[in-house]
Amino acid sequence: MLKRGDVARLARVVAETRETEIGCDECFEKLDGFAEVELSGLEARSMMPLVGDHIGKCSDCRSTFEALLTALRRT
């Protein structure tokens, strides 16, 4: 769940990355790596901010990411 502080931080990130957004295709390509970073306990969003940013805004990619996380956790 997003906390109040997270929303503010997210809004700032969105504002800062507006000119360097990635699309669904590029996000999808990097989603594997992003999920692995996330599962390794590192800050995936700070290491791959564009992917994190896209997932924050795109519900399609977010649900793909969540499915990926679930699948990776199971292995």
* Cβ 4 to Zn ion shortest distance, Å: 25
Q: Taking CB positions, which residue lies at the least distance from Zn ion? A: 58
* Cβ 61 to Zn ion shortest distance, Å: 3
Q: Which is nearer to Zn ion, 58 or 69 (CB)?
A: 58
Note whether 28 and 56 are within 8 A (CB).
no
* Cβ 10 to Zn ion shortest distance, Å: 16
Q: Which residues bind Zn ion (CB under 5 A)?
A: 24, 58, 61
Phi-psi category of residue 41: left, alpha or beta, with phi > 0 → left and psi -120 to 50 → alpha: left
* Cα–Cα distance, 72 to 4 (Å, whole number): 29
Q: Which is nearer to Zn ion, 24 or 72 (CB)?
A: 24
